């Protein structure tokens, strides 16, 4: 293996189809390796951010709030409070003398100004060190203002992004069960782990509506505090992006008996399966009939267009590096539908079970990697000869410098990729990058297109 690889990380990458599959994951990132991962705070902020009528106050120095100001495509149909970036902007004196007073005053000021339905107060590295009692300040503010003021224990250094997801779930769980559930249909669901990027969650809600299923709470895309409070009244939790919200689903199952199903809305297969799973769960033959009709109608419309794009894409190779591994399953299948082979797939925070499944669904010889860095990604992209790389903003320059196409599948995206219509958008995204004439002129690892 090339000298750019880190010995310490040797067990965090593996090749599918070569004997029993073993991979190590969920480890702390290696110092100096330039991990593509973020921190605990990032994990919490990502999950809670789209709750649009809540105040999201970052207790810390300015950076943490500044870097998360309105950069995501998480849309709201109503309030836009989540798009503002609130911070206590801690300074040297606060670090020395403590930031509790400033935090309380900031909460007073912002709650009076914006009248939010609840407030989330995010802890950052520094708060964990200077010993501010976040919970006590939140209790005080809650008593004073009569809205839930919830501490999110998201000190950046206390684990990786997954720990942040857990902290966010714990914060949300404080709201669940506090609202009135009367009038909720038994055939109802909560949508967990969908952040309504570019309005994706609305696509899914549209399908569920056509099936006759009520959606109680969006967790958290286009999210509302009141909906989350009555989420325990729903008949079923649908968990997408399982890394982020699975813990909430488990807590709700234990405390409120709400069953859950793991789903993905990306790609034709997984999207259809998700809808059938819902219909099957409710055991209503009429709903199942409506679901079949829906899927048929959507596929009839989608397939001719997809097949046209497939003609150009057939035989091309794809590489995938995303935050959570669950999304990667759907991407592998989506590429296969387009006649493309996945040669590299990795994630920041996948679990061993995730990677086992990836090994099972990919072609033999596919590289599977946990918590990669630019050096490793570059190495594998070159060795496997990919035509297009799917990732986020941090992966984009890696693709472009190597002369590969790129598709943004991260939270900043402004194009809806979920659902049947999203599959078409995805295929068009891949087509427009892979088939671009610019590849005729630029240096690229795979050589010029023939």
Partner 1 sequence: MSQPINAAPNYVSTTNACKLCMPLGACLAFKGVEGCVPFLHGSQGCATYMRRYLISHFREPVDIASSSLGEKQAVFGGGPNLKQGLVNVINKYQARVVGVATTCLTETIGDDVPALVREFNKTAVVEGGGRELPPIVTVASPSYGGSHLLGFHRAVAALVEQLATEAGPCHGGLNLLPGLLSPADLRHLRALCEDFGLATTLLPDYSLTLDGVAMAEYQLIPEGGTPLTAIQTMARAKATIELGRSLENLPSAGRVLERRGVPLHSLASPIGLRGSDRLVETLEHLSGRELPEVHRRRRGQLLDAFIDAHKYLAGVTALVYGDEDLCLGLTSFLAEIGVRPLIVATGGELGLLPAWVDSVCAGLTPEPPQVLAGVDFWQIAELARELKPELILGNSKGYPLARELGAPLVRVGFPIHDRFGAPRQTVVGYQGAMELLDRITNAILEKRQDDSPVGYGYL
Site for partner 1 in 389-448 (CB under 8 A): 392-394, 396-398, 400-403, 442-445
**Residue ranges in 43-72 that form contacts with partner 1 under rule CB under 8 A:** 57, 60-71
Choose, by CB under 8 A, the member of 50, 73, 148, 159 that binds partner 1.
Answer: 159
Choose, by CB under 8 A, the member of 13, 25, 41, 386 that binds partner 1.
Answer: 41
DSSP at 74: B
Kindly tell me which of 198 and 238 has the beta carbon lying closer to partner 1: 198
Residues in CB range of 407: below 8 A, 6 or more apart: 388, 389, 390, 391, 426, 429, 430, 433
Site string for partner 1, 242-281 (x = CB under 8 A): ----------------------------------------
What's the CA gap between 85 and 65, in Å, rounded?
Answer: 6
Smallest CA-to-CA distance from 55 within 117, 140, 126, 101 is with 117
Site string for partner 1, 317-356 (x = CB under 8 A): ----------------------------------------
What's the CA gap between 369 and 392, in Å, rounded?
Answer: 16
- Scan for tokens 């040797």, then name that residue: 10
Contact 348, 377 (CB under 8 A): no
Smallest CA-to-CA distance from 239 within 252, 222, 255 is with 252
Residue 125 is a binding residue for partner 1 (CB under 8 A): yes
SS3 263: coil
What's the CA gap between 376 and 8, in Å, rounded?
Answer: 13
SS3 437: helix
Kindly tell me which of 140 and 273 has the beta carbon lying closer to partner 1: 140
**Options 155-163, 165-173, 184-192, 322-330: segment touching partner 1 (CB under 8 A):** 155-163
Residues in CB range of 311: below 8 A, 6 or more apart: none
Choose, by CB under 8 A, the member of 1, 10, 34, 360 that binds partner 1.
Answer: 34
297-305 long-range contacts, Cβ below 8 Å, gap at least 24? 298/420, 298/421, 299/268, 299/272, 299/420, 301/420, 302/268, 302/420, 302/421, 302/423, 302/424, 305/424, 305/427
Give how many residues touch partner 1 by CB under 8 A: 76
Choose, by CB under 8 A, the member of 16, 23, 94, 197 that binds partner 1.
Answer: 94
| Shortest spacing between CB 444 and partner 1, in angstroms | 5
| Shortest spacing between CB 94 and partner 1, in angstroms | 7
Choose, by CB under 8 A, the member of 46, 47, 48, 110 that binds partner 1.
Answer: 110
| Shortest spacing between CB 98 and partner 1, in angstroms | 12
Choose, by CB under 8 A, the member of 12, 124, 187, 258 that binds partner 1.
Answer: 124
**Options 123-131, 233-241, 315-323, 331-339: segment touching partner 1 (CB under 8 A):** 123-131
SS3 362: coil
């Amino acid at each position: 293996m090339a000298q750019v690889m880190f010995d310490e990380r040797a067990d965090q990458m593996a090749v599918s189809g070569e004997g029993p599959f073993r991979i190590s994951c969920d480890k702390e990132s290696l110092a100096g390796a330039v991990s593509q991962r973020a921190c605990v705070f990032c994990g919490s902020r990502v999950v809670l951010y789209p709750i649009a009528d809540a105040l999201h106050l970052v207790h810390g120095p300015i950076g943490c709030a500044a870097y998360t100001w309105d950069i995501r495509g998480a849309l709201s149909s109503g309030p836009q409070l989540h798009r503002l970036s609130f911070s206590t902007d801690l300074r040297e004196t606060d670090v020395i003398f403590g930031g509790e007073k400033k935090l309380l005053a900031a909460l007073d000021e912002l709650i009076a100004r914006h009248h939010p339905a609840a407030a989330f107060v995010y802890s950052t590295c520094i708060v964990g060190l200077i010993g501010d009692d976040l919970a006590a300040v939140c209790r005080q503010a809650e008593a004073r203002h009569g809205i839930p003021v919830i501490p999110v224990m998201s000190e950046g250094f206390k684990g990786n992004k997954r720990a942040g997801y857990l902290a966010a779930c714990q914060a949300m769980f404080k709201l669940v069960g506090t609202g009135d559930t009367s009038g909720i249909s038994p055939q109802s669901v909560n949508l967990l782990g969908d952040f309504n990027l570019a309005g994706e969650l609305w696509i899914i809600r549209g399908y569920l509506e056509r099936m006759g299923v009520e959606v109680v709470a969006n967790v958290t895309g286009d999210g509302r505090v009141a909906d989350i409070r009555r989420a325990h009244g729903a008949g079923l939790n649908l968990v997408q992006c399982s890394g982020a919200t699975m813990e909430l689903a488990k807590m709700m199952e234990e405390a409120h008996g709400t069953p859950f199903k793991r789903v993905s809305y990306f790609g034709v297969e997984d999207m259809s399966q998700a809808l059938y799973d819902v219909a099957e769960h409710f055991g209503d033959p009429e709903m199942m009939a409506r679901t079949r009709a829906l899927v048929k109608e959507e596929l009839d419309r989608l397939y001719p267009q997809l097949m046209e794009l497939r003609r150009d894409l057939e035989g091309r190779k794809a590489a995938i590096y995303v935050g959570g591994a669950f999304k990667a399953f759907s991407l592998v299948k989506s590429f296969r539908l387009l006649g493309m082979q996945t040669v590299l797939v990795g994630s920041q925070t996948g679990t061993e079970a995730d990677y086992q499944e990836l090994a099972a669904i990919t072609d033999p010889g596919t590289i599977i990697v946990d918590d990669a860095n630019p050096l490793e990604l570059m190495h594998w992209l070159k060795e496997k000869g990919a035509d297009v790389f799917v990732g986020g903003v941090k992966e984009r320059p890696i693709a472009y410098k190597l002369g590969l196409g790129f598709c943004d599948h991260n939270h900043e995206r402004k194009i809806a990729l979920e659902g049947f219509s999203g599959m078409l958008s995805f295929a068009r995204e891949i087509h427009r990058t892979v088939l671009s004439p610019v590849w005729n002129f630029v240096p690229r690892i795979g050589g010029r297109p023939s």
